[in-house]
Amino acid sequence: MPEAIRTGLDSLPDELKAQILNHLTNPPPSWSWQKTALDTSITSSCTLQDTPLKSLVLVSRAWYSLVSPLLYSHLQLRLESPTAQTESALLSAKIKKITTNFREWLFRDAGYPHDIRLPYRHVWQSTATEKAAEWTATVDHSLARLFSFLESPDNGSFCDSVQSLTLVATGELNDNNLDYIRDEVHCLIATDAFWNLLFEKIDPARITVLAPPSKLACLLGCSMNMRDAWAFPGMAMQLVSVWRESRPLEVVDNGSPPSESDYDMMQPVELVMDPDEYGRPAFSSIIYIKPWTHLAVNEGSFLEAYSTYEYFHKNPPGILAAVGRAFRLETSIWSVAYKAIFPFNNHISSPLDQITYKGNPSNVRKLYVKIAPDPDDTILDDPRKIAKADITDCWREVESTYRFLTDPALRGEPEFESSGVVRELEMFSFGDSSISSIRDTVTSSLESAGWQEVALSEWHSSRLVSLLQMSTLGEDSVLQ
């Protein structure tokens, strides 16, 4: 029987079909990390214009084979507890190994009087607490569902097509009554096992985590201070996204992965006894275990906290302070972006300063900041959110933050170790240029430091501008 004659779309060669698919492929909604309202809807798209690939799958078998891998390129995993009590069969082997490593570290004779391990020995118990056991069951059950989906006959061949993964969690992991060490350490061990198994199956170029503060911290392998969380309902959900992409020519890769010797304790985390402090992320944190190039943080809104007595003494349950300590180790991340609404100056200035300027091995070259609501944002029209807040205080915090971040005279000179490598912030951009007073503040500070505005609200240091000009001149001479 002669081969059926293909007509219409089916008659096109696969190369042209691939070009068509490129025009129909949209970034997943979770990549819009700057959204003001952070809730689970950020990962959903329901309009018809967002689903052309799903429609195209129905055209023919040929189109199905071309489109199907793209449908599974951006996955969402919701961390949900199992409906029935089950053992953590998937994670059990990994958890056992990590727990053994941690226990060996915990009871090793350090040979000096003030052993940091001693406080942990006093509260350590080999059996996970009820709270930690519930978290372990949640991540195990969720991972099992993901693996079941990927390993099904229809989807198993698409593991290599996964480009990004968004984790969504709801409900706090802990509260003010947290038994700080006893509960948290076993939760972090389970999280470590979760990431280990996940990356054995897939290797996405982007990971996004959307979760309440304490769960977000646990998923990033660090601690979270929840003492004043009641005053910050606008921070009930926060987002952290890390991804990797090719570096532009002007960004030299000076990074090298951290070594195990950078930590006294490799597994699973450095915790702190003082709840007012933050522990450095674990060596096994998602921030370290892949060569990410970009980090984005969205902490939500601080607005409601301005209605509380002496708001500036409140400790926001924000992830930035903990994540910022990751840059005490050398990472491959060269671009950091931060978004919030009216964050306190004393909350974000210090971490961003540590990430980009102070004497650490950070390779961050670009910083993006947006900390004021957009002119068309309705957040200031909501009397429930404003309550007793003095809006003047809110804008004062924004102004002082931008002044600090962009004025070298306020920060002082960088104290980078002499290693022959230039470790300086060389690109700064901000998302609040529509507000004239903020734009004036940034412009005045950066111009006085010799920076140049190369595009709207995008600034380069004089050193980078000179390097790019020399590079351009060199290319022109070669062409001649």
Q: Rounded distance, CA 214 to CA 221, Å?
A: 11
Amino acid at 212: P
Output the pLDDT for position 262: 46
Residue 308: helix, strand or coil by DSSP?
coil
Which residue in the block uniquely carries the two structure tokens 């004239």? 436
**Band of residue 189 on the pLDDT scale cut at 50, 70, 90:** confident
Mean pLDDT of 283-308: 90
Type of residue found at 7: T
State how far Cα 227 lies from the chain centre: 23
Confidence class for position 263, pLDDT limits 50, 70, 90: very low
For the beta sheet containing 238-243, the strands, ordered from the edge strand earlier in sequence to the opposite edge, are 74-78, 164-168, 206-211, 238-243, 294-301, 335-341, 366-370, 427-430, 458-460, 452-455
Helix (H) or strand (E) holding 247: none
Tokens standing for residue 282: 């674990």
Residues facing 355 on adjacent strands: none
DSSP state of 192: H
Contact residues for 368 (Cβ-Cβ < 8 A; gap 6+): 335, 336, 337, 338, 428, 429, 430, 431
pLDDT, residue 345, reads 92
Q: How far apart are CA 125 and CA 120, in angstroms?
A: 10
Please state, for a pLDDT cut of 90, what percent of the chain lies above it. 27
Mean per-residue pLDDT of the chain: 78
Question: What pLDDT sits at residue 415?
Answer: 46
The token pair at 88 is 């953590």
In this predicted structure, what is the pLDDT of residue 470?
75
Amino acid at 279: G
What per-residue confidence (pLDDT) applies to 48?
43
Burial class (CB in 10 A: 0-12, 13-18, 19+), 6: exposed
pTM for the whole structure = 0.84
pLDDT tens-digit map of 394-429? 999 999 999 988 887 666 554 444 444 556 788 999
Q: What is the pLDDT of residue 109?
A: 65
DSSP 8-state symbol, 250: T
pLDDT at position 85 is 67
269/103 Cα distance (integer angstroms): 12
455-475: b or e for each residue (b if 16 or more CB lie within 10 Å)? eebebbbeebbebeeeeeeee
Query: Smallest Cα–Cα separation from 262: which of 215, 202, 340, 326?
Result: 326
User: pLDDT tens digits, residue range 197-238?
Assistant: 999 888 899 999 999 998 998 899 887 878 888 999 999 999
CA distance 105 to 100: 9
267 pLDDT more than 70:
no
For the stretch 135-170, pLDDT in tens is 999 999 999 999 888 887 665 566 777 888 999 999
CB of 191 closer than 8 Å to CB of 219: yes
Tell which residue, 359, 343, 338, has the closest CA to residue 396: 343
Could you tell me the two tokens for 10?
A: 């089916």
**Percent of the residues in the chain that have a pLDDT greater than 70, as a whole number:** 68
CA-closest candidate to residue 233, choices 396, 39, 385: 385
pLDDT digits (tens, 9 = 90+) for 70-109: 777 788 899 988 877 666 689 999 988 888 887 777 777 6
Write the Ramachandran bin of 412: left for phi over 0, alpha for psi from -120 to 50, otherwise beta: left
The model's confidence at residue 337, banded by pLDDT at 50, 70 and 90, is: very high
Higher pLDDT, 210 or 183: 210
Question: Where residue 111 falls among pLDDT bands split at 50, 70, 90?
Answer: low
pLDDT of 438 strictly over 90 = yes
Give just the sign of the alpha carbon dihedral 261, 205, 211, 239: positive
